[in-house]
Amino acid sequence: MGGPCRAWGLAASLWSGREFLQAPALKSSVMQRWWWLLLGLWTVLPTGTGDKLLNVCMNAKHHKREPGPEDELYVECEPWKDNACCTPTTSWEAHLDVSPLYNFSFVHCGLLTPDCHRHFIQAICFYECSPNLGPWIQPVDPSGPEQRAMDVPLCHEDCEQWWEDCRTSYTCKSNWHGGWDWSRGRNRCPAEAPCRPFPHYFPTPADLCEKIWNNTFKASPEHQGSGRCLQKWFEPAQGNPNVAVARLFASPAPAWKLPSTLVGFSLFLPFLP
């Protein structure tokens, strides 16, 4: 608050003395100060919230409070070992056919193919371990502290390959987030939901990415390496590409979203006496 307040105080002081600014040299000098003031305001006002969305863990059941290194993350969770929101135990449980993380069975319609199952493990590792989901974290309930991620933009290749590798596997629902039969303590297909190949419930790769976990993910048209979408898995030796993407999405609003008074002032400035 101190920076913008001091800047506006300076602005008021300059404006009150405008009658004195008639000499060309003095006018030029003060005009330059006006421009520097405006530049400072445009720099200071939008900042603050952006950095709070970076390198954070959501407030959820299996997440650490803060990200940090974990040397013993298991297999598909290993890319996040340098900076993770998950523990080694969470990473191990993510790899099981019936994961105790959510007591969810991936074998509700028989075993998934290994390639298909690997995509789900990677997606769980990504969700539980990544410290780069800040821009997409939302409260589960406005009145409660628990959080979830929504509309996380997965790269085009991630959705395409996930769908392709699961085409011959079976499921009975398009939304795995709810609507199961839990009468025996583990998710089972509802009576009216037959087991069918994945394309029956997910006609397109976008359907799979967006529907399967109730809009946790969003199918992005952007490609890996574009810097505008997140990868649910990456080669650890090549570094985490999602850091820069999170920073882009967490960055301050573009100029047209800034306060209208500041925009109007910038347009009026050239006409000052």
- What is the number of other CB atoms lying within 10 angstroms of the CB of residue 62? 17
Is residue 125 very low, low, confident or very high in pLDDT (cuts 50, 70, 90)? very high
Residue 153 has pLDDT above 90, yes or no: yes
**Three-class SS state of 2:** helix
Average pLDDT, integer, range 236-240: 89
Amino acid 185: pLDDT: 83
Q: How confident is the model at residue 196 (pLDDT cuts 50, 70, 90)?
A: very high
The residue assigned the tokens 């920076």 is: 3
| CB-based contacts of 135, cutoff 8 Å, min separation 6 | 53, 246, 249, 250
Q: Where are the domains of the chain?
A: 51-137+148-179+195-250
- The single-letter code of the amino acid at 21 is L
Q: What are the pLDDT digits (tens) for 165-190?
A: 999 999 999 999 889 999 988 899 99
pLDDT band at 5 (very low <50, low <70, confident <90, very high): very low
Does 10 have pLDDT greater than 50?
A: no
From CA 175, how far away is CA 162, in angstroms rounded?
Answer: 16
The mean pLDDT of the chain is: 81
pLDDT range class, residue 127, cuts 50, 70, 90: very high
Task: Say whether pLDDT at 38 is over 50.
Answer: no
Alpha-carbon distance of 201 to 123, in angstroms, equals: 19
Distance CA 159, CA 209 (A): 6
Say if residues 47 and 99 touch (Cβ distance below 8 Å). no
Residue range 223-235: mean pLDDT, rounded: 95
Confidence class for position 133, pLDDT limits 50, 70, 90: very high
pLDDT at 87 over 60: yes
**Using an 8 Å Cβ cutoff, are 199 and 43 in contact?**
no
R_g (Cα) of the chain, nearest Å: 25
End-to-end CA distance of the chain: 30
Question: Given pLDDT bands bounded at 50, 70 and 90, which one contains residue 261?
Answer: very low
CA 179 – CA 190 distance, rounded (Å) = 8
Q: How much is the average pLDDT of 123-137?
A: 95
- Residue 251 pLDDT class (50, 70, 90 cuts): confident
What share of the chain has pLDDT > 90, as a percent? 59
Residue 253 CA, distance from chain mean position: 16
Average pLDDT over residues 247-255: 74
| β-strand partners of 139 | 147
Phi, psi of 110, rounded to the nearest 5 degrees: 95, 170
- Give the DSSP H/E element, type plus range, for residue 202: none
Q: Is the model more confident about 273 or about 239? A: 239
Average pLDDT over residues 19-24: 46
Q: Is the pLDDT of residue 4 over 90?
A: no
Residue 267: pLDDT over 80:
no
pLDDT tens per residue, range 58-80: 998 888 999 999 988 999 999 99
pLDDT over 70, % of the chain: 73
Q: Distance (Å, rounded) from C-alpha 104 to C-alpha 94?
A: 10
What pLDDT is stored for residue 255 in this prediction? 41
Quick: pLDDT tens for 200-222: 999 999 999 999 999 999 999 99
